[in-house]
Structure 1
């Protein structure tokens, strides 16, 4: 297994930082690797802790009396200089349970009230979002949403449009729009399964 020989912090930002790792693998190849992280300093990196804790949450929420619509957001993202369809998501606050974070984040981004369901741990376990460049880990939380949509709780830095999509609109989005990978994978269940959450019972 590769060994990290040096770790240097390059930025000191609030929400995202860049680290430089030097290492050597079991073939003797020496690498310079740059890692983006939600952590404020080296002490919280998975390189240091070797613990996988949720930095944030993704929220898969069904909406409507028949639970036949899904809550999405259309959000401007700087890395692509354009809009992308995603599930509502956000960062966990220090010491906050990820399910509590999901309730808070859905309300902040959409104004809706989120009711998480009790899914097996394997479906909510934190997963790495893009491990080739970051140690960010995200827990997916499933449930139902109700209430009225509003943008009054959104942060000034956010450019978010709330989308309540039925199956026809989801098909259009998948065919025509930029879609975040985690949302796309879950939307396939939404389209194919009579009960979109049926897979949670496997």
Structure 2
């Protein structure tokens, strides 16, 4: 098993930092590995804590009386200089439960209210998003959205369009648009089951 020899913090940003991790593996190969992290300090890295606490929360929200639309955001992202479809999501603040974060973030991003659906913890467990370059992990929550779309609570730095997509639109998005990986899998799931949350009771 590989071992870590040293960690150096390279940046001091609010939301994301870079760390240089030096280590060697069982074959004697020495690595200089760049890690992006939400951690503010070395002692906060998952390398240091050994804990998988969620940095963010992903929100799988269904909308409408017939529960036949899914809430998406079409958001501009600098790394691709374009828009991408995503599930609503956001960071979990220090001391905040990720369920509370989901309610807050959905309202901030979309103006909608959110009613959580109880789920077995294995469905909400924090999962690593892009483990090849970051230790970020996100929990996923499920529920029903209601109310009217509004951008009154959105961050000025965000460029977001809220989309209430029925199944036909979900198919079009998957065929024609740029889509984040977790969003694509959620849309496939939404298309496959008449009751999108039936699996939570299994």
What's the TM-score, normalizing by structure 2? 0.99
In structure 2, what is the equivalent of residue 155 of structure 1? 155
Distance 2:201 2:128 in 1: 23
SS in 2 for 1:59: strand
Counterparts in 2 of 1:132-147, with a 5 A limit?
A: 132-147=132-147
Distance 1:157 1:139 in 2: 24
Shift of 1:7: 0.3
| 5+ residue gaps, structure 1 | none
In structure 2, what is the equivalent of residue 197 of structure 1? 197
Deviations 1:35-68 (A, max 9, x none): 0000111011011001000000000000000100
Instruction: Give the alignment's Cα RMSD to 1 decimal.
Output: 0.6
Q: Which 4+ runs in 1 deviate beyond 4 A?
A: none
What's the TM-score, normalizing by structure 1? 0.99
Alignment of 1:53 with 2:53, yes or no, is yes
In structure 1, what is the equivalent of residue 23 of structure 2? 23
In structure 2, what is the equivalent of residue 67 of structure 1? 67
Deviations 1:47-102 (A, max 9, x none): 10010000000000000001000000000000111000000000001000000000
Distance 2:122 2:64 in 1: 27
Distance 1:172 1:44 in 2: 41
Distance 2:186 2:73 in 1: 14
Shift of 1:192: 1.0
Alignment of 1:14 with 2:14, yes or no, is yes
In structure 2, what is the equivalent of residue 37 of structure 1? 37
Shift of 1:198: 1.7
Deviations 1:17-48 (A, max 9, x none): 00000000011110010000001110110110
Deviations 1:101-144 (A, max 9, x none): 00000000000001111100000000000000000010000000
Distance 1:16 1:175 in 2: 32
Distance 1:49 1:35 in 2: 15
Counting matched residue pairs gives 202
